A and B are shown apart, each in its own frame.
Chain A
Amino acid sequence: MAEKSSQWSSRVGFILASLGMAFGSGNIWRFPRVVAANDGGPFLIAFIIANLIWAVPLLMIEMAMGKSTRLGTVGAFRNFVGKKSTWMGAWIGLCSILIMFYYSVVTGWAMRYLVFGITGAIKKGIDSEAMWKGFLSSPEQTIVFHLLALLVAGYIILEGVHKGLETANKIIVPSIIVILAVVMAWALTKPGAIRGLEYLFRPDLAGLLKAKTWLNAFTQAAWSIGAGWGLMLTYSVYMKEKEDIAANSFVIAFADSGSSLLAGMAILPLVFAVSSSTEAATTVLQSGDTGLTFIYLTKFFPTLPLGSFVGALFFLALSISALASLLSMVELAVRNLEDVGINRRKATLITVVVAFLLGIPSAYKVSFQENQDMVWGVGLLISGMFFAYAVYKKGIDRVRDIVNETSYIRVGKWFNVCVLAMPLIFVVIFGWWVLQAASLYPQTWWNPFRTLSPGTMVMQWAILLVFIILANNWFAKKIKAPYPESLSKTGASDALGKKTKRGL
């Protein structure tokens, strides 16, 4: 169980750390691309609604579980839901840890491009495609930067919650906002840039009637804020007793969405300023996350005045935003290890070494990284469902009581509606993603050895599920914190055996 000394020093410290967790590379390279492909304005409306329906309730659930149990994902499920559900906490934790293995590789890519920017390698006339392909086909570089990302993250985690995580995020998060604002202001001074803003804010409200707009909005909401990943639960372990769950959940959701909007207002004007037509700009935006960032933006920056300098700034923002998200994943692993009695120093060392070794295949081969991204990215939706299950098992009203206990804004019955709607939303989004994956390989979609196929997703999930379900009792026994008496006697699921407002 977390020691009382390991706490965020203030509400601002907690929110900035949570924003660092939420604001990752997906906000910078995915959001602008997705909003552009989904009619602009209607997507922005659908996105904020999706955040309020899916992400905000999940943030509240995670905060309630972390704060009331003071344990990482595995221990939190044992003490909040019951011993038999410990494996669900293990799924959530392992899903995020498996993402950490390749996310440190992605952080390394951003760091490499920051070095390219600082050393002046991003210059006019550069063959950015050759640069990107050359970097990816050089395992010694990708592995070294993967290690560098983990070493930096490990050092910060080792410094502790207050001195390490909080201090780092107090520098990182405001820096990202300032840099993106500078990139936006710079881009908007370029001729033609205003077309990018017009494209971003297309007011064609008919887009709200398209299923694709909503599916993409809910997907972005599920991945962008990091709700349902167990990361918010981990950070909430260090919350102060009287910290406001409801207001903080809304602040994090709106701040993350606002930062994504800022990234869109920086990148789309830049893409339009250097593109001869809307069609040319659309082609660039359809080139995928890494294609847009590492090929096109790398080529575009130096073609404009002061571009090389602004390009270096942009890659600095990308590097530190990815690092802040990586920090939360490392902390999640360390928290779970601390819960089984391993000290923080040893837990950090184990996490960094294991993440380095198991991240090597992703650093070595980009197709492996892409496959892992698909498998565990979609797997996160299952994690979200496990949180919803925890609430059903505990009682939706009782969880709402925990949220309301220290919240100034009273969370009403709408919370119940959102939680009840989660399985439906899950089935639709999950089904849509699996069908999309199946459409890539109509003949061989079932093949478990075909990358990006539903077959490989199901096989990898099944392997993990079999392992964690068989090891459920072992996981439950390993947690050092006491098991709540109320759970062992009655099977009721009152966190830490405390009586709630409803007198249960």
Chain B
Amino acid sequence: MSWQAITMMVLMIVLYLGGLAYFALKHEHKESDKK
């Protein structure tokens, strides 16, 4: 597997899962603000 493809794979996984984690945690932040 070429390094370009590996880079693309890592970037896409970070983008897709990072987006999910970011917005999931944003909500958790809101919950903790209330406390």
Contact = CB atoms under 8 A, between A and B. Distances in A.
Given A48-B15, A254-B20, A261-B16, A11 B9 contact: no
A341 interface: no
A201 B5 contact: yes
A407 B24 CA distance: 12
B2 to A, nearest CB: 7
Contacts of A44: 8, 12
Nearest to A11: B27
B20 A203 contact: no
Contact of B23 (A48, A247, A257, A261): A247
Contact of B19 (A40, A197, A254, A409): A254
Q: Which range holds the interface residue count of chain B?
A: 20 to 34
B35 interface: no
B8 to A, nearest CB: 4
Interface string A394-417: 000000000000001100000000
Contact of A261 (B4, B5, B12, B24): B12
B8 A258 contact: no
A409 B5 contact: no
B30 A258 contact: no
A41 interface: yes
Interface string A201-223: 11100000000000000000000
Interface of A, secondary structure class, is helix
Contact of B20 (A11, A198, A255, A408): A255
Contacts of A194: 1
A258 B8 CA distance: 15
Contacts of B17: 254, 258
Contacts of B13: 261
Given A203-B8, A261-B16, A409 B23 contact: yes
Of the candidates A11, A201, A258, A261, the one having the most CB atoms from chain B within 10 angstroms of its own CB is A201
B16 A408 contact: no
B27 A244 contact: yes
Contact of A198 (B5, B19, B24, B30): B5
A250 interface: yes
Contacts of B19: 48, 250, 253-254
A255 B30 CA distance: 20
A48 B1 contact: no
A255 B4 CA distance: 25
A471 interface: no
Contacts of A428: none
A126 interface: no
A202 B16 contact: no
Of the candidates A45, A255, A258, A261, the one having the most CB atoms from chain B within 10 angstroms of its own CB is A258
Contacts of B1: 194, 197-198
B5 A258 contact: no
A118 B29 CA distance: 45
A48 B18 CA distance: 12
A45 B4 CA distance: 15
Given A254-B19, A258-B17, A408 B12 contact: no
Contacts of B15: 48
Given A197-B1, A261-B13, A41 B8 contact: yes
Nearest to B25: A247
A11 B12 CA distance: 27
A170 B15 CA distance: 25
Contacts of B6: 201
A185 to B, nearest CB: 15
A152 interface: no
A257 B12 CA distance: 11
B27 A41 contact: no
A200 B10 CA distance: 12
A251 interface: yes
A174 to B, nearest CB: 14
A261 B13 CA distance: 8
Contact of A197 (B9, B16, B24, B26): B9
B2 A198 contact: yes
A250 B23 contact: yes
Of the candidates B2, B5, B17, B23, the one having the most CB atoms from chain A within 10 angstroms of its own CB is B23
A403 to B, nearest CB: 14
Interface in A402-445: 408-409
12 contacts: A40-B8, A41-B5, A45-B12, A197-B9, A200-B9, A201-B9, A203-B5, A251-B23, A253-B19, A254-B20, A408-B27, A409-B23
The 4 closest A-B pairs by CB, nearest first: A408-B30, A254-B20, A250-B23, A254-B19
Interface of A: 11, 40-41, 44-45, 48, 194, 197-198, 200-203, 244, 247-248, 250-251, 253-255, 257-258, 261, 408-409
Given A41-B12, A197-B5, A203-B8, 14 more contacts: A197-B1, A198-B2, A198-B5, A201-B8, A201-B12, A202-B5, A202-B8, A203-B4, A254-B16, A254-B19, A258-B16, A261-B12, A408-B27, A409-B26
